[in-house]
Amino acid sequence: MKRLQTTLTHLLIALLLVASPLTAWVDINVTWNAADPAEGGRSDSYREAQRAVTNEDWEEAEILFTQVADGGGNDADAALYWKAYVQLKRGRASLARQTVQELERDYAESTWIDDARALEVEARQASGRSVNPADEEDEELKLYALNSLMHMDSERAIPVLEEFLQGDHSVELKEKALFVLSQSGSSRAREILEAVAKGQQHPELSMRAIEFLGLEGGPETGEALQEIYSSATDPQVKSKALEGLMLGDHEQAVLAAARGESDPDLRGKAVEMLGLMDARAELQELYRTETSTEVKAKILEGLFIAGDATTLSELARSEQDPALRRKAIEGLGLVDSEESGQALAALYASETDIETKKKILESFFLMDDAETLGRLARTEEDLELKAKAIEGLGLVDSDSSREALRTLYASESDREIKKSILQAFMLQENHEALIEVVRSEEDRELRKMALEYLSFIDSDEAMDFLLTALED
């Protein structure tokens, strides 16, 4: 569970920093180390300097970038930025600031200016100068300054952040300040975060604060999130609190919500969170006691998320509700393990309901199991199920499924089944197989169908063949 929590934490932070609307955040440091998108057109000297950066040979990189910058030309502005970057890496913050000023003076229209200004904020911080977001002139630089506060001790940073939250700034900037605050780990920072999460301060930031509490983890934040969940009347706030409890690994609190919540949607949300927490035993117990079909379906989804093929297999065999049974079968396909594959094969062999068998075939497709679909396409006597297996092969689109379909077409005598195979060729955009059919098939209707499907495929070979056919 801890590995899952770490993965989810990194994913959520990445979303917060780059996507919108979870988002409206600026990627502070990553762009500094990102590959130069124009590097492919750069001079040999510039590329050599970049290789030095990659190898963390900072002294050599500074020498090389200085040479490129002094030479002028198309690479000079980029070289000045990277020169400042390398100087900062070498602990030469004052020189880095001078290089940024040179870039701003000589190349005022450069696309590197914004990145350089962010670098200057870091250089000021490295020089021991106090960085206050309120001192910056534009909002983007305020974001960089806020990020720099993460490197200060909390006694200095927290009062500045509190003051910033009270100021007349955009919600996006305040969210970023809140994020920086959440990284402090101090008791005062947590008090502020909890107050915001409870809506006591800056209510427009409460949902984001709940997320940050979840990422922080720990028993105290767990208690705060439980209090938020219990006292909230807004389902969205409750849902967000459940997400926070999941991120903080507060399993018992989430289980209590799954058991006692009267709102089926929120019970379903709690069940989903339990799946992410790999709480298999709890989900099994909930399924036995749950009466709502909708919530039971959510529990099946939770079992899939937890990868519990054993329980899904049992329910796929024993569940009396056809819709829930098919949901369990679908979950087995999504789990995609050796155990789930064996369970589905056994279910297909013993099943008599045609709709359920179709669902099992769909699950084999979800698993990309061309071998089983090919076998069933060859051996299934029911023409409707045979066509379904062929459709699944067409959707899998692998070398083995392509070969299975070509072999099946060559051995098949039923025209309708052959039509299904032609459609599968089209789904795979397998123009070679369709061209082969046009050339060798004696049935005029099947040849016409193969030609029609060729017209749906965007390939030079298909187009050339169709043009040749028109000339003949």
- 255-263, Cβ contacts within 8 angstroms, sequence gap of 24 or more: 255/279, 255/282, 257/229, 258/282, 258/286, 259/286, 263/235, 263/238
Look at residue 35 in the predicted model and tell me its pLDDT.
39
Q: Confirm if 48 and 64 have CB atoms less than 8 A apart.
A: yes
Question: Whose CA is closest to 164, among 124, 187, 196?
Answer: 196
Q: Which of 259, 202, 257 is nearest to 235 (CA)?
A: 257
> In this structure, are 339 and 431 located in the same domain?
no
Query: CB–CB of 406/421 below 8 Å?
Result: no
**Local confidence pLDDT in tens for the 472 residues of the chain:** 333 344 433 333 333 333 332 222 223 232 333 334 444 457 888 889 888 888 889 999 999 999 999 988 888 999 998 998 888 888 888 888 889 889 889 998 888 877 777 777 767 666 655 555 555 555 556 656 665 655 555 666 788 788 888 888 788 888 888 888 887 778 888 889 999 999 888 889 999 999 988 888 788 888 999 999 999 999 999 999 999 999 888 999 999 999 999 999 999 999 999 998 999 999 999 999 988 899 999 999 999 989 999 999 999 999 999 999 999 999 999 998 999 999 999 999 999 999 999 999 999 999 999 999 999 999 999 999 999 999 999 999 899 999 999 999 999 999 999 999 999 999 999 999 999 999 999 999 999 999 999 989 988 888 888 888 776 5
What is the predicted pLDDT for the residue at 149?
Answer: 57
List of residues 6+ apart from 436 with CB closer than 8 A: 406
Cβ contact 213:221 at 8 Å: yes
Q: Of 349, 367, 385, which one is at a domain's C-terminal end?
A: 367
Q: How far apart are CA 118 and CA 53, in angstroms?
A: 19
Integer Cα distance of 71 and 349 in angstroms: 76
* 468: Cβ contacts below 8 Å, ≥ 6 apart: none
Q: Which domain holds residue 324?
A: 307-367
Q: Which residue has the tokens 């569970």?
A: 1
210 occurs within a structural domain: no
Are 405 and 433 in a shared domain? yes
Same domain, 445 and 466: yes
> Count of alpha carbons within 13 Å of 372, Cβ hemisphere only?
21
Question: In CATH, what number is assigned to the domain containing residue 377?
Answer: 1.25.10.10
Residue 58's contacts (CB-CB under 8 Å, 6 or more residues apart) are 52, 86, 89, 90
Q: Is 469 in the same domain as 427?
A: yes
* Boundary of a domain, candidates 367, 386, 417: 367
Query: Which own/partner pairs from 64-71 qualify as long-range (CB within 8 Å, at least 24 positions apart)?
Result: 68/43, 71/45
User: Looking at the structure, do residues 379 and 429 belong to the same domain, yes or no?
Assistant: yes
The pair of structure tokens assigned to 468 is 């040749």
Would residue 169 count as lying in a domain? no
Question: For residue 312, what are the CA distances in angstroms to 259, 318, 334, 341?
Answer: 20, 10, 11, 12
In a domain, 23, yes or no: no
Shared domain check, 348 and 385: no
The Cα–Cα gap between 135 and 151 comes to 18
Q: Is-contact 258 286, C-beta < 8 A?
A: yes
AA identity, residue 388: K
- Cα–Cα distance for residue pair 209/179, rounded to 1 Å: 8
Residues 469 and 383 in one domain: yes
In a domain, 422, yes or no: yes
Residues 380, 447, single domain; the answer is: yes
Q: Given this model, what pLDDT does residue 130 score? A: 54
Contacts of 353 (CB under 8 A, 6+ apart): 322
Cα–Cα distance measured from residue 17 to residue 12, given in angstroms and rounded to the nearest whole number: 9
Do residues 420 and 340 both lie within one domain? Answer: no
Task: Report whether 139 contacts 164 (CB < 8 A).
Answer: no
Please state at what angle helix 354-366 crosses helix 338-350, rounded to 10 degrees. Answer: 160
3-state SS assignment for residue 362? helix
CA distance 23 to 170: 13
Task: Count how many domains the chain has.
Answer: 2
Q: Does one domain contain both 362 and 395?
A: no
Q: Distance (Å, rounded) from C-alpha 88 to C-alpha 96?
A: 6
Whether 230 maps to a domain, the answer reads no
pTM of the model: 0.60
Residue 235: is the preceding peptide bond cis (ω within 30°)? no
Query: What tokens were used for 68?
Result: 């490129």
Q: How far apart are CA 433 and CA 449, in angstroms?
A: 13
* Cβ contact 286:311 at 8 Å: no
Decide if 401 is inside a domain: yes
444 lies in the same domain as 382? yes
Based on the domain organization, do 445 and 379 belong to the same domain? yes
Q: What's the pLDDT score for residue 345?
A: 95
Residue finishing a domain among 367, 392, 411: 367
Cβ atoms within 10 Å of 194's Cβ, excluding its own: 21
- Measured at the CA of 22, the angle between CA 257 and CA 164, to 5 degrees, comes to 100
CA distance 101 to 439: 71
- Cβ-proximal residues to 252 (8 Å cutoff; 6+ apart), any chain: none
Residue 146 falls within a domain, yes or no?
Answer: no
- Quick one: pLDDT at residue 401? 92
Q: Please answer whether residues 319 and 300 qualify as being in contact, where contact means their C-beta atoms are separated by less than 8 angstroms.
A: no
In a domain, 327, yes or no: yes
Structure tokens at 43: 């001079």
